[in-house]
Amino acid sequence: MTTPDEQPSEAPPLVRPYVITKGRGLPDDEQLSLITLVTAADDEQRRPTRRLTPEEQGLLELCAAGYLTVAELAGHTRLPLGVVRILLSGLTEGGFVIVRPPVERASLVDARILEEVLNGLQAKFG
């Protein structure tokens, strides 16, 4: 009970990660790394086989806006990263979300080519 001078806590009630994940284990790091991109599947692609938990529904709503990384989803939901990875694994298996590996880094450009481009631009435009 709070006194008139105290403000109620804004922290959500504590729910153990084991309860949220239903005891499932972590997926492989290759499957869902921190930078794996996740988005909601189209309604035609979904295979609703079960009812979603509130945490899964929250993740699905965030993913509906476009691609987000696993780390961003964990930050937005304020759930532990492991819990988010487990929930996303279940959503992927159910066809609710689509995951794809992040875009690979571009290879470094040769400095000589950049110098030639710069020299050409300077010659043309002064």
**Given a cut of 60, is residue 9 above it in pLDDT?**
no
- Say how many residues make up the chain: 126
DSSP 46: -
Which CB contacts under 8 angstroms, 24+ apart, belong to 13-22? 17/79, 17/80, 17/82, 17/83, 20/53, 20/55, 20/79, 20/83, 20/87, 21/83, 21/86, 21/87
Q: Is 84 in contact with 72 (CB distance < 8 Å)?
A: no
**The domain that contains 55 carries what CATH number?**
1.10.10
Q: Give the pLDDT confidence of 15-26 residue by residue, as tens digits.
A: 666 566 666 767
Q: Which residues pair with 39 in a beta bridge?
A: 98
Residues ≥6 apart with Cβ < 8 Å to 70: 32, 33, 34, 35, 36, 38, 81, 84, 85, 88
Structural domain that includes position 79: 17-102
The structure's pTM equals 0.64
Domain count for the chain, please give it: 1
Q: What is the pLDDT of residue 43?
A: 72
Q: What is the pLDDT of residue 38?
A: 93
107 inside domain: no
The amino acid sitting at 41 is A
Q: Give the pLDDT confidence of 105-119 residue by residue, as tens digits.
A: 778 888 899 899 999
Q: Give the pLDDT confidence of 54-111 residue by residue, as tens digits.
A: 888 999 999 998 899 999 999 999 988 888 998 898 888 888 999 998 777 778 888 8
112 inside domain: no
